[in-house]
Amino acid sequence: MSQAESLFHAIPLAPPDPILGVTDAFNADTNPKKVNLGVGVYQDGQGRIPVLRSVREAEKRWFETENSKAYLPIDGLPAYRTGVQNLLFGTDHAVVKGGQVVTAQVLGGTGGLRMGADFLKRFAPASSEVFLSSPTWENHRAVFEAAGFKVNEYAYYDPETRGLAFGKMVASLRAMPKSSIVLLHACCHNPTGVDLDAGQWQELTGIFREQNLIPFLDLAYQGFAEGLDADAFAVRAFADAGIPMVISSSFSKSFSLYRERVGAVTLVTANADEAKRATSQLKRVIRSSYSNPSSHGAQVVALILTDAELRKAWELELGEMRERILRMRTLFVEKLAAKQAARDFSFVRKQRGMFSYSGLELPRVQRLRTEFGIYVVDSGRMCVAAMNEGNLDYITDSIAKVL
Ligand code: LMR
């Protein structure tokens, strides 16, 4: 076949993924000292992506008791769905008791975003556009554009103070058309690590109500900022305020179950009747996308969430991961200060979650890659959760050199 005859002859080459493409480049690098601070994946003190002890134990129990490979329901395992709602709202929130909450098990946090986006494309007002924080996770725009939305940005991060531009954020929200869909990072903002405080979230709920905005909360790091309940503050604030919303949950990080694709999409509706109709439509969205979810990861999560002993063990491990990241933040800052790096990095200690928005400019990011085999995202985002006592000297030496 000549090239011109091929159906695919005119296909343009797509650019590498801004985050997962960094992992591909890292894998191809032969530098023995290389470090991948690109993708958001937690590594333990020895640089391993752990299988949590609680997960291992739940898997054993599940392996011994699984007796069928039948399809799961379109919206997933019932015990898992209840577990997700408990994590989001606590065990006795009025929205759950009132039957207003709809949860479907989906393929990871990205699946939650996409199913939520597809659902909103069908049922939000036709004029609704999506607003993302500036900056945001690189894939957010792609997900919402793929669902057919026009995507805009709202002010969020102030590079001068390396903190939240709250005044500008509020002004952006007030200037949005009614029924705009606003993607919010419920905690551990990706990529900046800069979050709203409780008072600011409360203020936001008032603005959302006045402006009739639609909150879409992305909760991919519950338990990585302060703890399971504290990190659900934003979700509960909107629920307390009686504002309908969409939430995407991911358990990739909190259970270290990245490849099992365990996530959920949750809708908070006005009443049980609305919830029933929303469930029926959400299931149609899922059915026409991938039919029904895979089983393993959700079974493991459901088992851990419902068994007191496993749950306690998991919460302990989650706390260990959170504490280790905090120690790495402190060590990173101390080491750069001790090396008299030409920049103050003390802000890294104030950021939350897996990432640090380092402020390193693209030419420096590129030098880190080519000269030192240290891979960070082009935006300067570094995964602090991949630092350990064995690689921190090399990382901080290299950063001090490119500065
Ligand atoms: C990240 O931001 O690095 C993670 O959420 C992984 C991903 O899929 O991009």
Residues 129 and 235 in one domain: yes
Q: Which of 344, 347, 342, 343 is nearest to 329 (CA)?
A: 347
135 lines ligand 1 (CB under 6 A): no
What token pair was written down for 28? Answer: 């191809």
Q: Which CATH number covers residue 376? A: 3.90.1150.10
Compute the average pLDDT of residues 176-186: 98
For residue 17, the ligand 1 atom closest to its alpha carbon is 9
Whether residue 23 lies inside any domain: the answer is yes
Distance 362 CA to ligand 1 centre (A): 19
CATH number of the domain bearing residue 201: 3.40.640.10
**Both 344 and 280 in a single domain?**
no
CB 161 within 8 A of CB 193: no
In a domain? residue 305 = no
Domain that holds residue 332: 3-52+314-402
* Weakest mean pLDDT among 28-37, 296-305, 314-323, 338-347: 338-347
Residue 201 has pLDDT above 80, yes or no: yes
Q: Give me ligand 1 centre to Cα 139, in Å.
A: 8
Amino acid occupying residue 224: F
Flag whether pLDDT at 1 surpasses 70. Answer: no
Question: How far is the C-alpha of 374 from the C-alpha of 370, rounded, in Å?
Answer: 8
How confident is residue 5, by pLDDT bands cut at 50, 70 and 90?
confident
Ligand 1 centroid – CA 368 distance (Å):
20
304 in any annotated domain? no
Active site residue 253: yes
- Does 178 score more than 70 pLDDT? yes
Query: Of 218, 231, 314, 335, which residue is the catalytic one?
Result: 218
Is the domain of 108 the same as that of 26?
no
**Is 228 or 341 the better-scoring residue by pLDDT?**
228
4: pLDDT confidence band, cut at 50, 70 and 90?
Answer: low
> What does the DSSP assignment read for 163-208?
EE-HHHHHHHHHHSPTT-EEEEESSS-TTT-----HHHHHHHHHHH
Q: How far is CA 42 from the centre of its chain?
A: 13
Same domain, 215 and 320: no
> Which of 244, 259, 294 is a domain's end point?
294
Q: How does pLDDT run across 202-251, given as a tens digit for each residue?
A: 999 999 999 999 999 999 999 999 999 999 999 999 999 999 999 999 99
State the chain's mean pLDDT as an integer. 96
Coarse DSSP helix, strand, coil percentages of the chain, rounded to the nearest 5 percent: 45, 15, 40
Do residue 86 and residue 189 come from a single domain? yes
Q: Evaluate whether residue 134 is within a structural domain.
A: yes
Q: Does residue 215 sit in the same domain as residue 124? A: yes
Query: Ligand 1 centre and the CA of 19: distance in Å?
Result: 6
Q: Assess contact for 402 and 64: CB atoms under 8 A.
A: no
Span between the terminal Cα atoms of the chain, in Å = 53
Ligand 1 contact via 40 beta carbon (within 6 Å): yes
Q: How far apart are CA 18 and CA 111, in angstroms?
A: 19
Tell me, what's the pLDDT at 226? 96
Tell me if 300 is assigned to some domain.
no
Q: How many angstroms does the Cα of residue 248 sit away from the middle of ligand 1?
A: 14
Does the pLDDT of residue 2 top 80, yes or no?
no
Residues 190 and 78 grouped into a single domain: yes
User: Comparing C-alpha atoms, which of 194, 137, 110 is closest to residue 153?
Assistant: 137
Q: Is the pLDDT of residue 3 over 80?
A: no
Q: Is any atom of ligand 1 closer than 6 Å to the C-beta of 355?
A: no
Ligand 1 atom at shortest distance from the alpha carbon of 220: 5
Ligand 1 nearest-atom number relative to CA 110 = 8
Q: State the pLDDT confidence band at 166, using cuts at 50, 70 and 90.
A: very high
Residue where a domain stops, chosen among 294, 327, 346? 294
The SS3 assignment for 357 reads strand
Query: How high is the pLDDT of residue 341?
Result: 86
149 and 255 housed in the same domain: yes
Q: Are residues 257 and 343 in the same domain?
A: no
| Residue 239, CA atoms < 13 Å, CB-side half-sphere | 28
Between CA 111 and CA 293 the distance in angstroms is 10
Pocket test for ligand 1, best of 39, 132, 188, 354 (most atoms within 8 A of CB): 39
Is 63 within the bounds of a domain? no
Query: Which residues, 6 or more positions from 124, have their beta carbon under 8 angstroms from its beta carbon?
Result: 179, 181, 214
Q: What is the mean pLDDT of residues 280-294?
A: 98
Residue 59 resides in a domain = no
**Contact 106/84 with Cβ under 8 angstroms?**
no
166 Cβ contact partners less than 8 Å away, ≥ 6 residues apart? 196, 200
Residues 290 and 338 grouped into a single domain:
no
Distance of CA 325 to the CA centre of its chain: 16
Asked whether residue 172 is domain-assigned, the answer is yes
Q: Are residues 194 and 253 in the same domain?
A: yes
SS3 at position 355? strand
For the cut 80, the answer to whether the pLDDT of residue 64 exceeds it is yes
Report the alpha-carbon angle 326-330-334, nearest 5.
170
**Contact between residue 222 and residue 232 where contact means Cβ atoms under 8 Å apart:** yes
Instruction: Please indicate whether residue 137 is annotated as part of the active site.
Output: yes
What total of structural domains would you count in the chain?
2
Question: What average pLDDT does range 353-375 have in this prediction?
Answer: 96
Domain end residue (candidates: 265, 294, 323): 294
Q: What is the pLDDT of residue 50?
A: 96
Looking at the fold, whether 43 and 76 belong to one and the same domain comes out as no
**Nearest-angstrom CA–CA distance, 76 and 292:** 7
pLDDT at 191 over 70: yes
- Average pLDDT of the residues in 140-167: 97
Residue 123 phi/psi, 5-degree rounding, is: -120, -10
pTM of the model: 0.96
Residue 58: what pLDDT? 98
The three-state secondary structure class of 272 is helix
Is the CB–ligand 1 distance for residue 190 below 6 Å? Answer: yes
Distinct helix (H) and strand (E) counts, the chain: 14, 13
